[in-house]
Chain A
Amino acid sequence: MDNNEQRFKEMIVRHKDFIWHICESYRMGATWEVSDMFQEVLCMLWRYYPGFDGRSAERTWIYKVANNTLISLKRRAINRQQTNDTVPEQYYNDDRTEYNDLMQLIETLEEKDYCIVKAHLDGFDYAEIAKMVGISVAAVSMRLSRAKQKLRKMYEYEK
C-alpha cells in the first residue's frame, strides 16, 4: 500500500461515522441500501482524492463529494421508478420519527435549498456552506431563513 492509499484509508477511518450519516440521510428505500451508497461514496472519494489539495477542510470536501454522488444516485433512482411506473418507495422508515418527518419535508425543497438546509443541519457554518454551494454568505443566510420559513409552514399544515 503506497502513501496515497494509506492517507486515504486513514481519512476514511476518521470520517466513517459522518460518511455513514450522509448516506443514511439519503435513504432510497429498497433501491439502494445504505451500505451500497457508502461503497459508491467511497469509490467517488477515491476517484477525486488526488484533486483534494487541503484548501478546504477534509470534512467539507468529503461532504461535497458524497452529496454530489448521492444526489446523482437519487436522480437515477427516481428516473428508474418513473420509467418502471412503480409505487414510490417510502424513503424514511426507520425509528427516528422526528428526524424522518422533517427530512421528508426538506426533500420537497428545491435542490439548492435542500443542500443548504442539509449542510446547516449537518453542522456546517455559513461560510463553509457558501463555499460548497458557490454563493455568498449573505445569500446562504437569506436562502436558509426562507427555506426554514417554508418548512415551518409545511410542517404546520401537515400537523
Chain B
Amino acid sequence: MKNKDFDKQWNNCKEEYKKAKCPLDSNDLDRFITRAMETTQNPATKPKTRNVWIWSLSAAAACMAMLFVVNTVVAKPADEFQHIIIDGQEIIFACNNGCSPENTVEMFNQIIQ
C-alpha cells in the first residue's frame, strides 16, 4: 500500500512542471527582464570597452619599447671622446662603451692589417 502511495506521489510530481504557471503579466515580466539587463553585465555588451583597454595597453607597451630602443641604441649621447694618433694623424671618435685608447689603437691596427 505504502509502495503504491509512493509511486503515485512520484508520478504526480512528474506532472507538476507541466502545470506551472508564472503569475507575472507581460508588463511585470518586462520589468524583471529590463532590471536583469540593467543590473547585470553581459559580456557581449562589454567587448568594446575591453578592446579599448587592450589597445591602450598594447600601444603604451609599444611606445615604451620604442623609447627604450631609441634611448639606448640610437640617440644615446657619447660618454666620452677619444683621441688616438695613427701614422701621425689624429683621429677623434665618440666612445660609448668606456673603451680605452690602447684597445682602440689595437682594434684599428687589426682592421688595417
Residue pairs across A and B with CB atoms within 8 Å: the count is 98
- CB pair B17–A42 under 8 Å, yes or no, is no
- Candidates A17, A121, A159; contact of B5 at CB < 8 Å: A159
Say what secondary structure dominates the interface of chain B. Answer: helix
A37-84 CB contacts (< 8 Å) to partner B: 38-39, 42-47, 49-51
- CB pair A50–B10 under 8 Å, yes or no, is no
Chain B, interface size: which category? Answer: 20 to 34
A20: nearest residue on chain B (CB-CB)?
B22
- Interface residues of A, count at CB 8 A: 41
- CB pair B43–A50 under 8 Å, yes or no, is yes
CA distance A45 to B21 in the complex (A): 19
- CB pair B33–A24 under 8 Å, yes or no, is no
- CB pair B35–A39 under 8 Å, yes or no, is yes
Give the B-binding residues of A (Cβ under 8 A).
4-5, 8-9, 12-13, 16-21, 24, 35, 38-39, 42-47, 49-51, 96, 98-99, 101-103, 120-123, 148, 151-152, 155-156, 159
Q: 5 tightest CB-CB pairs across the interface, nearest first?
A: A21-B20, A20-B22, A50-B44, A42-B36, A16-B22
